[in-house]
Structure 1
Amino acid sequence: MPYVDLVAILAVLQFFFFALMTGRARMVTGVKAPATSGHEDFDRMYRVQMNTLELLVMFLPALLLAGKYFSGLTWLVAALGSMYIIGRFVYWRAYVGDPAKRGLGFGLSMLPILVLILMALVGIILSLLS
């Protein structure tokens, strides 16, 4: 389980990094708080941060529950979580450069979330049935 916990905290640190990058984009572009738009470069970074936040709500519980119910497969759960983190970085780089090219990063983020949700659901159901 420590690997799953490590992936969970790395995902939180990644979100923290994206928040810092959004703050940096705000300073560089001159978009004053509380505005959430106003310059294309800031808008792109802000959307990366917000999209990552939206996915974290699904990712973290699915990751931790899949790790709990499939304790013999924590290597797989951690690998799926790592795929999510890599996908978020791919998404970030693509979205900031050209939002039309964000598809690969989005897919690399969503696929592991879906698999982890299914693993967690199966684990919970099997636990209820036993």
Structure 2
Amino acid sequence: MTQLPALVTLLTVLLLFGTTWLVGRARGKYAIKAPATSGHPLFERAYRVQMNTLEQTVMFLPTLWLAATYGFNGWAGIAGLVWLLGRVWYAVAYMNDPAKRGPGFGLASLGWLALLVMTAIGVVRAMAVG
């Protein structure tokens, strides 16, 4: 369990790579020339999945590692897996039907919220001791 946050981080990097690959593939398939970020609806979906995942990752990774650092290593890894599964669910759903992306987003948000609570508890606890 001690290496679970590292595994989650690696899987998150692979998820980011996957969303980047989807955008590149859609850009070629639908002839969307860089730097354009609009055009075919399926390209726009792929682009939004990539950007939203990147935006969420900026908040996710620091809370994952703060929670792990401040005494919740195993639980942080589990919450990180929940976030990761939610983001994959979100991406697949968004690509198929944007109206059905909500449950995946909700699951990822739940995982992140758990990390945020662990981080807050850990930081406050460390400040009280130190």
Fold conserved between structures, TM > 0.5: yes
Given residue 22 of structure 2, which amino acid in structure 1 is its aligned partner? M
Q: Could you say which residue in structure 1 is the equivalent of 2:124? A: 125
Looking at structure 1, the residues matched to 114 and 56 of structure 2 have their Cα atoms a distance apart, in angstroms, of 14
Unaligned runs of 5+ in 1: none
Counterparts in 2 of 1:58-69, with a 5 A limit? 58-69=59-70
Deviation at 1:128, TM superposition (A): 0.5
User: Does the residue aligned with 1:16 lie in a helix, a strand or coil?
Assistant: helix
> Structure 1 stretches (4+) deviating beyond 4 angstroms?
none
Q: Could you say which residue in structure 1 is the equivalent of 2:29? A: 28
Q: Could you say which residue in structure 1 is the equivalent of 2:77? A: 78
Q: Do the aligned partners of 2:16 and 2:54 also contact (CA within 8 Å) in 1?
A: yes
Unaligned runs of 5+ in 2: none
Deviation at 1:85, TM superposition (A): 1.0
Q: Could you say which residue in structure 2 is the equivalent of 1:113? A: 112
Given residue 50 of structure 1, which amino acid in structure 2 is its aligned partner? M
Given residue 64 of structure 1, which amino acid in structure 2 is its aligned partner? W
Looking at structure 1, the residues matched to 120 and 44 of structure 2 have their Cα atoms a distance apart, in angstroms, of 36
Q: How many residues of Structure 1 are paired with residues of Structure 2 in the alignment? A: 128
Deviation at 1:76, TM superposition (A): 1.7
Deviations 1:46-70 (A, max 9, x none): 0000000010011000000101112
Given residue 39 of structure 1, which amino acid in structure 2 is its aligned partner? H
Q: Could you say which residue in structure 1 is the equivalent of 2:3? A: 2
Deviation at 1:75, TM superposition (A): 2.4
CA RMSD of aligned residues (A): 0.9
TM-score (norm 1): 0.94
TM-score (norm 2): 0.94
